[in-house]
Structure 1
Amino acid sequence: MYLPLRAISVFHAVARAGSVSKAAADLSVTPSAVSQQIQSLEVHLGTSLIAKVGRGVVLTEAGERYFAMIDEEIEHIGEATQRIRGFRSITVLTVRATPTLSSKWLLPRLKSFLDAYPDIEVRLDGTNEPTDFSREAVDVEIRHGEGRWPGVFIEGLAEERFLPVSSPSHCAAGSLTPAEIPRHRLIHSVKSQVQWTHWFSLTGVTPATQWRRVLFDRSHMAIDAAADGIGLALESTLMMWRELQEGRLVCPVRDPPRISVTTQWIVCPFDQLRQRKVRLFLDWLRAEREAWQRLAASEAGAA
Structure 2
Amino acid sequence: MGMSVPLRAITVFHAVARSGSITRAAEDLGVTPSAVSQQVQSLELALGTALIGKSGRAIVLTEAGERYFEMIGSEIDRIMEATQRIQGFRSMTTLTVRATPSLSTKWLLPRLSSFITAHPDIELRLDGTNEPTAFQKENVDIEIRHGTGGWPGLFVEGLVEESFRPVCAPALAAPGGLAAGDLPRHLLIHSVKSQVQWPHWFTRAGIAPAPRWRRLLFDRTHMAIDAAAGGLGIALESDLMLWGDLRAGRLACPLADPPRVTVVTQWVTCPPDHLRLHKVRAFLDWIRRERDAWAAERDALTTL
Q: TM-score, normalised by structure 1?
A: 0.73
* 1:241 paired residue number: 243
Residue by residue over 1:144-202, the C-alpha shift from the partner in whole angstroms, topping out at 9 and shown as x without a partner, is 10001100000001110000000000000000111111111100000000000001011
Whole-Å Cα distance in 1 between the matches of residues 186 and 207 of structure 2? 14
Residue 25 of structure 1, CA deviation: 4.0
Residue 295 of structure 1, CA deviation: 0.5
Residue 22 of structure 1, CA deviation: 1.8
Listed as ranges, the matches of 1:1-303 within 5 Å are 21-28=73-80, 89-300=91-302
Instruction: Note if contact 2:159-2:267 (Cα within 8 Å) is conserved in structure 1.
Output: yes
Instruction: Note if contact 2:106-2:241 (Cα within 8 Å) is conserved in structure 1.
Output: yes
Label 1:260 to 1:238 Cα distance change in 2 as closer, same or farther (>3 A).
same
Helix, strand or coil at the partner of 1:279: helix
Amino acid in structure 2 at the alignment position of 1:249:
L
**Matched residue pairs, number?**
234
Residue by residue over 1:106-145, the C-alpha shift from the partner in whole angstroms, topping out at 9 and shown as x without a partner, is 1111111111101101111111100000100100000010
Whole-Å Cα distance in 2 between the matches of residues 176 and 189 of structure 1? 21
Amino acid in structure 2 at the alignment position of 1:26:
R
Q: How many percent of aligned residue pairs carry the same amino acid?
A: 59
Residue 209 of structure 1, CA deviation: 1.7
Whole-Å Cα distance in 1 between the matches of residues 197 and 185 of structure 2? 17
Instruction: Note if contact 1:88-1:119 (Cα within 8 Å) is conserved in structure 2.
Output: no
Segments of structure 2 that go 5 or more residues without pairing to the other structure are 1-69
Amino acid in structure 2 at the alignment position of 1:188:
H
Instruction: Note if contact 2:115-2:286 (Cα within 8 Å) is conserved in structure 1.
Output: yes
Instruction: Note if contact 2:192-2:219 (Cα within 8 Å) is conserved in structure 1.
Output: yes
Residue by residue over 1:51-108, the C-alpha shift from the partner in whole angstroms, topping out at 9 and shown as x without a partner, is xxxxxxxxxxxxxxxxxxxxxxxx9xx98x78xx7x8830000000011001100111
Whole-Å Cα distance in 2 between the matches of residues 168 and 156 of structure 1? 32
Instruction: Note if contact 2:73-2:137 (Cα within 8 Å) is conserved in structure 1.
Output: no
Instruction: Note if contact 1:162-1:234 (Cα within 8 Å) is conserved in structure 2.
Output: yes
Whole-Å Cα distance in 1 between the matches of residues 71 and 123 of structure 2? 23
Residue 20 of structure 1, CA deviation: 5.0
Helix, strand or coil at the partner of 1:238: helix
Q: TM-score, normalised by structure 2?
A: 0.73
Whole-Å Cα distance in 2 between the matches of residues 28 and 297 of structure 1? 46
Whole-Å Cα distance in 2 between the matches of residues 253 and 28 of structure 1? 55
Label 1:25 to 1:113 Cα distance change in 2 as closer, same or farther (>3 A).
closer
Instruction: Note if contact 2:178-2:256 (Cα within 8 Å) is conserved in structure 1.
Output: yes
Whole-Å Cα distance in 1 between the matches of residues 238 and 119 of structure 2? 30
Helix, strand or coil at the partner of 1:109: helix
Label 1:298 to 1:28 Cα distance change in 2 as closer, same or farther (>3 A).
closer
Whole-Å Cα distance in 2 between the matches of residues 205 and 89 of structure 1? 60
Instruction: Note if contact 2:180-2:205 (Cα within 8 Å) is conserved in structure 1.
Output: yes
Whole-Å Cα distance in 1 between the matches of residues 255 and 300 of structure 2? 20
Helix, strand or coil at the partner of 2:301: helix
Instruction: Note if contact 2:98-2:140 (Cα within 8 Å) is conserved in structure 1.
Output: yes
Instruction: Note if contact 1:188-1:234 (Cα within 8 Å) is conserved in structure 2.
Output: yes
Residue by residue over 1:243-275, the C-alpha shift from the partner in whole angstroms, topping out at 9 and shown as x without a partner, is 001111100012110000000000100000000
